[in-house]
């Protein structure tokens, strides 16, 4: 009798462990966009160029999991994608090609994290821009910057 109870109890524990593990796997969402951390981005702007220092994102995304949308004066926008996880010039994908965007991986760790930069050149003077960092798997906006170039 004791052996039967022990087997039944062991089987119940195994079933419970399988259910808990299954529930945990279902609640893990791998496609969630990275969340912005406490380090604010810094934008430095000139008449035809801007540097955007990226903030802290958790978890640190691969650059190739992100896209950039650059809007000019609220009327034109272009979508750019990272061609690799290393320092690179982003590839224009669609819309209007507004600028050249170069990604600088400060830590050289092939992850987007605090201090990495987007160096944007070929901008129009005296213009308003909105830059959006997009999580490619879901097209969610991860971060947004607004800046204006001086005349």
Q: Is the distance from CB of 134 to CB of 65 less than 8 angstroms?
A: no
* Domain 35-148, CATH: 2.60.40.10
pLDDT number for residue 23: 45
Q: What percent of the chain has pLDDT over 90?
A: 60
Tokens of 92: 């224009």
Residue-wise pLDDT for 26-67, tens only, equals: 444 445 667 665 455 667 899 999 999 888 888 889 999 999
Q: Hey, what's the torsion of the CAs at 88, 92, 93, 94, to 10 degrees?
A: 160
């Amino acid at each position: 009798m004791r052996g039967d109870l022990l087997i039944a109890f062991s089987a119940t524990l195994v079933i419970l462990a399988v259910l808990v593990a299954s529930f945990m796997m279902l609640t893990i969402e791998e496609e969630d966009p990275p969340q912005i951390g406490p380090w604010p981005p810094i934008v430095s702007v000139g008449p035809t160029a801007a540097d955007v220092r990226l903030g802290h994102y958790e978890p640190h995304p691969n650059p190739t999991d992100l896209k950039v949308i650059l809007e000019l004066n609220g009327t034109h926008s272009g979508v750019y994608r990272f061609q690799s996880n290393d320092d690179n010039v982003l590839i224009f994908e669609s819309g209007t090609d507004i600028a050249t965007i170069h990604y600088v991986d400060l830590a050289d760790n092939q992850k987007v994290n605090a201090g990495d930069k987007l160096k944007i050149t070929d901008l129009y003077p005296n213009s308003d821009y909105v830059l959006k960092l997009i999580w490619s798997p879901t097209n969610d906006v991860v971060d947004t910057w607004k800046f204006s170039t001086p005349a």
